[in-house]
Amino acid sequence: MAAALHALDFLSQSDPPAVPPLVALFGDDAFLKRLAARALRNAVLGAGDAEFSHTQFMGNSAELREVLDELATVALFGGGRRLVTIEEADEFVSRYRSQLENLAGEPRGQGVLVLEVKTWPSNTRLYKAVAAQGLNIDCSTPNLARLTKWLPAWARQQYQIRLEPAAVERLAEIIGPELGLLDQELAKLSAAAGSEGSISAEAVAELVGGWRAKTTWEMLDAALAGEAPRALRELERLLLSGENAIGVLAQMSSTLRRFAAATRIVRQAEAAGRRPTLRGALEEAGFKSFVLAKAEAQLRQLGRERGDQLFTWLLETDLGLKGQSVQEPRAVLEQLIVRMAKTRAAS
């Protein structure tokens, strides 16, 4: 069975792909779904009057008979192919799963059917049928490595600006893995890029960070100082302003991962019979020289027991914010903050 193609890989292809008769767009990133849907439309229909050959349905009201009729209709424009898109197609898929399995193996006419769904389990017969005869495009939120590779390429392609490496890291820290928001901020940065078209980390901090980034760092500082009430007040300010909970976690995570790595470095050195210094471990974990004194005090307050648990806590919080917790996003973040902010005597 062929693996699904991630949307970023699909979009990075230099030439328009040959689009099969059945395509599934699935995942949690609406921005990636829009980009992938637009690329499919251009590949199938081209430009000009091709819009007349594109029909869209909503999944909760679409009838299979109407969809099949549209697929079998000869296109008047756009290279002779028809494109039918079913938005929010989860309900449609549930109603017509067996028929869609048959359609994957025996497409109707020259048309292309695109199913935009939220969930698309890889262990189903339909997923496997589309993988074998069609195309599964994964529009899930990319991981940090893929995100930081995509950002500078997208900035060059769409906005003709060059992001310095430190600017890429800072932008990812401030916004998090929200591609739509990142695109909006790139548009803002492009207007301030100047004649050289280059964006520094300082420019990102000034133009993108604003008071929200400052508040996030103050919240994290308060938690790492053991001041839970102040940290929770700063969190409330962020969320009431409209800040996305996943974005807040992303800004916190880069620092907390470094603390977790420093703790692990200390443990490993001690196991090898060496006597490490906290400052040396923090520097090896990626902390800059000008924040080492502050970071050392914060790690001492955190303690090695909780430092050992940071990776686990971050994973639990990330999964909780992405739907694996019955708690509201605010409560999930509050739990992480309280865990960090407990005094060592109470930990």
How many angstroms separate the CA atoms of 147 and 156, rounded? Answer: 15
Structural domain of 172: 141-199
Tell me if 247 is assigned to some domain.
yes
Residues 17 and 123 in one domain: yes
Residues 177 and 292 in one domain: no
Tell me if 87 is assigned to some domain.
yes
What does the pLDDT look like over 79-131, one tens digit per residue? 567 899 999 999 999 999 999 999 888 876 678 999 999 999 999 999 999 99
Tell me if 29 is assigned to some domain.
yes
Q: H or E segment at 24?
A: strand 22-26
DSSP state of 17: -
Residues 115 and 193 in one domain: no
Residues 166 and 54 in one domain: no
- Residues 6+ positions from 93 with CB-CB distance below 8 Å: 59, 100, 115, 117, 126
Written in H, E and C, the secondary structure of 79-129 is CCCCEEEEECCHHHHHHCHHHHHHHHHCCCCCCEEEEEECCCCCCCHHHHH
Instruction: Compute the half-sphere exposure of residue 13: CA atoms within 13 Å on the CB side of its CA.
Output: 16
Residue of 187, 181, 183, 149 lying closest to 168 (CA atoms): 149
How many angstroms separate the CA atoms of 310 and 336, rounded? Answer: 9
Q: H or E segment at 162?
A: strand 162-163
Q: Tell me, what's the pLDDT at 312?
A: 94
Residues 189 and 245 in one domain: no
Residues 315 and 276 in one domain: yes
Residues 153 and 239 in one domain: no
Q: Are 7 and 32 contacting, i.e. CB atoms less than 8 angstroms apart?
A: yes
Q: Structural domain tally of the chain?
A: 3
Sheet holding 83-87, edge to edge: 5-6, 135-138, 22-26, 112-117, 83-87, 54-58
Using the 3D structure, point to which of 160, 176, 199 is the last residue of a domain: 199
Tell me if 205 is assigned to some domain.
no
Q: pTM score, two decimals?
A: 0.62
Q: Tell me, what's the pLDDT at 58?
A: 93
Tell me if 283 is assigned to some domain.
yes
Tell me which residue has tokens 């600017």. 167
R_g (Cα) of the chain, nearest Å: 24
Tell me if 290 is assigned to some domain.
yes
Largest CA distance in the chain: 77
Q: Tell me, what's the pLDDT at 346?
A: 40
* CATH number, domain containing residue 286: 1.20.272.10
In the chain, which stretches have pLDDT less than 70? 1-2, 16, 47-51, 74-80, 108-109, 194-195, 209-214, 290, 343-347
Tell me if 133 is assigned to some domain.
yes
What does the pLDDT look like over 179-208, one tens digit per residue? 887 888 898 888 877 667 889 888 887 777
Q: Tell me, what's the pLDDT at 72?
A: 83
Tell me if 204 is assigned to some domain.
no
* CATH number, domain containing residue 186: 1.10.8.60
